[in-house]
């Protein structure tokens, strides 16, 4: 798990909003040039960035414009049952950086995104706010709703059940499955594995929604050993469908 993280403004004029963000996240605010934490959440005039201290690589941030051309046929769209004029309301219980949610929204689905980590939620909220100002993305982002909440707690308060519930849990790594992507490495440090994923699947199935979709590594066993009614296979991932 992450041992330390701080917030910093990239320039002096951003000190006030950076301080408000630090207070909200319950993190210290520091001078970026004098930081000694494991991670640094840097507020710039353009965006919110997550830096791994000691690394010179590109920081982690949310940029929905990178997905604007991914509006063709996607396996996830078929997995949630999107067909013709049927555009299901999808509850994404593990939003992460919002890529899957954006793809679904680009296909016409209304997507409610849940993210339990305050820090990851802040990155996602920043990206969503910027995307809403982009004319190319405004229509798609208008179908996205972001909520900072633990999925299990949120499910307990549901008054209207969605058509589809989508889960993309981060699973415990092994020597052969060590995360290579920067986002996965950062997420693992920040929030750890989704050790409650099996329980969450059981809870979602009990809601009797039209469909529950679980994203898994292509060779991984079904989540919690619960056999799916069907699966869609990709090169590296698999969508298990419970209907």
Asked whether residue 198 carries a pLDDT value surpassing 70, the answer given is yes
Q: Domains for the chain: give ranges and CATH numbers.
A: 5-52 (no CATH), 65-242 (3.40.50.150)
* Mean pLDDT, rounded, for 235-242: 94
Residues 147 and 32: their CA atoms lie apart, in Å, by 29
Tell me which residue of 31, 27, 76 sits closest to 240, measured CA to CA.
Answer: 76
| More confident: 187 or 48 | 48
pLDDT at 222: 95
* 69, pLDDT greater than 80: no
Query: What would the mean pLDDT of 140-166 be, rounded to a whole number?
Result: 95
3-state secondary structure of 129: helix
Tens digits of residue pLDDT in 79-125: 999 999 999 999 999 999 999 999 999 999 999 999 999 999 999 99
Burial of 5 (0-12, 13-18, 19+ CB in 10 A): buried
Give the CA distances from residue 63 to residues 18, 36, 51, in Å, rounded to whole numbers and listed in that order.
20, 27, 15
pLDDT of residue 208 exceeding 70, the answer is yes
Q: What percent of the chain has pLDDT over 70?
A: 90
Give the pLDDT confidence score for residue 177 in this predicted structure.
Answer: 46
pLDDT classification of 188: cutoffs 50, 70, 90: confident
Q: What is the mean pLDDT of the chain?
A: 90
Q: Is the per-residue pLDDT at 12 higher than 80?
A: yes
Which tops the pLDDT comparison, 140 or 189?
140
pLDDT confidence of residue 191: 75
**Mean pLDDT value across residues 181-189:** 74
Q: What are phi and psi of 102, to 5 degrees?
A: -65, -40
Query: How do beta strands 48-52 and 211-217 pair?
Result: unpaired
Query: What is the end-to-end Cα distance of the chain in Å, rounded?
Result: 35
Q: Of residues 36 and 125, which shows the higher confidence score?
A: 125
For residue 24, give the nearest of 92, 166, 122, 96 by alpha carbon.
Answer: 122
User: What pLDDT, on the 0 to 100 scale, is given for residue 95?
Assistant: 95
3-state secondary structure of 68: coil
């Amino acid at each position: 798990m992450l041992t330390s993280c701080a917030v910093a403004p990239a320039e002096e004029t951003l000190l006030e909003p950076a301080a408000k963000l630090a207070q909200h996240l319950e993190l210290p605010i520091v001078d970026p040039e004098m930081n000694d934490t494991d991670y640094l959440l840097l507020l710039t005039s353009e965006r919110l960035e997550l830096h791994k201290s000691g690394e010179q690589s590109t920081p982690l941030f949310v940029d929905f414009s990178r997905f604007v051309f991914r509006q063709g046929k996607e396996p996830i769209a078929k997995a949630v049952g999107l067909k013709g004029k049927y555009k299901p309301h999808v509850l994404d219980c593990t939003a992460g950086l919002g890529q899957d949610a954006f793809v679904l929204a680009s296909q016409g689905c209304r997507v409610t995104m849940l993210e339990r980590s305050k820090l990851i939620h802040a990155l996602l909220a920043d990206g969503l706010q910027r995307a809403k100002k982009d004319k190319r993305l405004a229509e798609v982002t208008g179908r996205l709703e972001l909520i900072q909440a633990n999925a299990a707690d949120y499910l307990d308060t549901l008054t209207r059940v969605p058509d589809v519930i989508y889960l993309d849990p981060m699973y415990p790594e092994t020597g052969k499955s060590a995360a290579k992507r920067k986002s996965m490495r950062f997420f693992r440090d920040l929030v750890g594995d989704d050790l409650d994923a099996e329980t969450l699947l059981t809870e979602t199935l009990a809601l009797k929604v039209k469909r529950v979709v679980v994203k898994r590594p292509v060779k991984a066993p079904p989540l919690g050993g619960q056999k799916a009614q069907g699966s869609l296979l990709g090169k590296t991932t698999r969508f298990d469908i419970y209907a």
